[in-house]
Amino acid sequence: MHRTALITGGSQGLGRTVADFLAAQGYGLLITARGADDLEAAARELRRYGGNVIALAGDVADPVHRERLAQAARDLGRLDILFNNASTLGATPLPPLAAYPLDELEQAFRVNVAAPIALVRAVLPLLEASGGLIVNISSDAAIGGYPGWGGYGLTKAALDLASLTLARELNGIGVVAVDPGDLRTRMHQAAFPGEDIADRPLPEVTLPFWAWLFGQPREAVTGRRYRAQADRWEVKAAAAALAEVTV
């Protein structure tokens, strides 16, 4: 059976880049995003690699949609990677935290924190069966304390802690948080309305990291937080101690 990945926010930006990277390697894909037209267009292009691509449009914050995704994964019979990438910036333009509209903050937590955790729960048996990998997309805003980024940063800090906690609670699968770095994406543009973001690299710049991460034994990376654009990516200290035999 072909290896399979579930990618949220899979129609554009980083999610789409990773979808291409996996489809070209023969992975089956289950992709989701809110915009049905963009998602269907992405699916058509991804199918050119010859693999199975299922596209289900919807909002990851919607429990009914999440159950449809989980059912589709169960129907495929296998899931190797859960790529929790869909997220919301929250209120835009980015308000200072003291002035943040609370309903928007709660909604950001539903999309960026509750939804990824709920998806983990929904597909956990499949990930356990495959010895799979959960990737939670984080941000430097999770630790930066940048003015204006408080709402989004809070949700990503919470997702970082969720990743670490899940890594310690779940056996036999890997859980990592990944800060992809600044990228030239629609979301990044939304954070900087009217600004020229052409100096930011395209999401393809992160491919070497994904090539590395997906090839690592899960136990060597689980619980770690990575920066995809960093100049080094290390396995856990315990794995490093055994490096002589494993490299």
The residues that touch other proteins, with contacts defined as CB under 8 A, are 20-21, 24-26, 48-50, 201-202, 204-205, 207-208, 211-212, 214-216, 231-235, 237, 239-241, 243-244, 246-247
Instruction: Report the nearest approach of other proteins to the CB of residue 195 (Å).
Output: 22
State yes or no: is 152 an active-site residue. yes
Instruction: Report the nearest approach of other proteins to the CB of residue 245 (Å).
Output: 9
**Of 89, 79, 60, nearest to 125 (Cα)?**
79
Q: Cis link prior to 93 (omega < 30° from 0)?
A: yes
How far apart (Å, rounded) are the C-alpha atoms in residues 234 and 241? Answer: 12
Please, which residue, 138 or 216, has the CB nearer to other proteins? 216
Please, which residue, 125 or 201, has the CB nearer to other proteins? 201
Please, which residue, 21 or 109, has the CB nearer to other proteins? 21
Instruction: Report the nearest approach of other proteins to the CB of residue 229 (Å).
Output: 10
Instruction: Report the nearest approach of other proteins to the CB of residue 236 (Å).
Output: 9
Count Cβ atoms within 10 A of the Cβ of residue 14 and give its class: 0-12 exposed, 13-18 middle, 19 or more buried: buried
Residue 81, beta-bridge partner list: 5, 133
Instruction: Report the nearest approach of other proteins to the CB of residue 79 (Å).
Output: 16
**Of 8, 15, 6, nearest to 185 (Cα)?**
15
How far apart (Å, rounded) are the C-alpha atoms in residues 100 and 96? Answer: 6
Please, which residue, 118 or 207, has the CB nearer to other proteins? 207
Please, which residue, 72 or 212, has the CB nearer to other proteins? 212
What one-character-per-residue DSSP string does 42-88 give?
A: HHHHHHTTSS-EEEEES-TT-HHHHHHHHHHHHHHT---EEEE----
Q: Report the chain's C-alpha Rg in angstroms.
A: 17
The catalytic site residues sit at: 152
